[in-house]
Chain A
Amino acid sequence: MAVELLRESYEIQGKNYDKAGEVSGEIKVLLRDLGIDAVNMRRVVIVAYEGEMNVVMYAHRGTLTLVLTDRDINLEIADEGPGIPDIGLALQEGYSTASDEMREMGFGFGMGLPNMKKNSDEFRIESEVGKGTFVFAKIRLNANA
């Protein structure tokens, strides 16, 4: 069994573009201070940032929970929002439902979820239309050592 070493939860506000990315920035500083190697840190913060941006862009609010164990880093992103009707389609590179406002922010080109999946060793999405979305991502600490 993996031993849990640290658990931190962060609130994310939907539609707050000024603060978008702050949680991921905090996580980067935290992981660097903990001495996590650069390759794994980068994978975790890319997953966190894309996930955080999705909550900001699409949902009303959300929570990102980071769990560090002696073997891996797990990210759980849960939001209250519109949900994803077709997860398979959402995971296709290039598919996007973004608004002009989101594209002006430099996001919404259909690469967010594929980027998250690519940088994770385990990746899972559950979603209920009209309620919200839950994303789980695991990054193994020894996988890229």
Chain B
Amino acid sequence: MKLHEIRDLLQCEVLAGEDNLSVDIHQVVASDGMSEILAFAKSKELMITGLTNIQSIRTADIAGVSAVLYCRGKRPEKKVIDFAKEKRIPVLVTKMVMFDICGVLYNRGLKGVS
């Protein structure tokens, strides 16, 4: 699924990487624990988290995920968004809660990594 399809499906606002939404997403990893993201993340993957500090983008960069989606309408500070832009990682935010986001994406055929 393309990232811009996920944006439309979850009614996301794009905070970084507006020009990079044609990236293909194959799998999803969802957690507020960064080590869990690191343990299960793959490339071509969407990372869903409620953690909005600088470590969320640092973890996304280290794990090599394709994009970050913040849930529950949580918005990171400007320095976090700037860091994502520097690392060329698209960042989206939706008002939906993590459980519902995962349900919607799962119904559309996306799976987690096990």
Using a CB-CB cutoff of 8 Å, which residues 92-111 of chain A contact chain B? 104-107, 109, 111
Least distance between B70 CB and chain A CB atoms (Å): 13
- B interface residue count range (under 10 / 10 to 19 / 20 to 34 / 35 or more): 20 to 34
Least distance between B18 CB and chain A CB atoms (Å): 23
Using a CB-CB cutoff of 8 Å, which residues 51-69 of chain B contact chain A? 51, 53-56, 58-59, 61-64
Interface contact B62-A21, CB-CB below 8 Å = yes
Using a CB-CB cutoff of 8 Å, which residues 1-57 of chain A contact chain B? 17-18, 20-21, 24-25, 28, 38, 42, 45-46, 49-50
Interface contact B43-A21, CB-CB below 8 Å = no
Interface contact B34-A107, CB-CB below 8 Å = yes
B32 interface residue (CB < 8 Å to A): yes
User: How distant is the Cα of A111 from the Cα of B59 in the complex, in angstroms?
Assistant: 14
Number of interface residues of A (CB under 8 A): 23
User: How distant is the Cα of A50 from the Cα of B58 in the complex, in angstroms?
Assistant: 11
A106-B33, A109-B33, A118-B39 given as contacts; is B62 within 8 A of A24 (CB)? yes
Least distance between A119 CB and chain B CB atoms (Å): 9
A132 interface residue (CB < 8 Å to B): no
A115 interface residue (CB < 8 Å to B): yes
Least distance between A110 CB and chain B CB atoms (Å): 8
| Chain A residues with CB under 8 A of B54 | 18, 21
A-B residue pairs in contact (CB < 8 Å), sample of 17: A21-B58, A21-B59, A21-B62, A24-B58, A28-B61, A28-B62, A45-B62, A46-B63, A49-B59, A106-B49, A106-B55, A109-B33, A111-B33, A112-B35, A115-B35, A115-B38, A115-B39
Q: Which residues of A contact B (CB under 8 A)?
A: 17-18, 20-21, 24-25, 28, 38, 42, 45-46, 49-50, 104-107, 109, 111-112, 114-115, 118
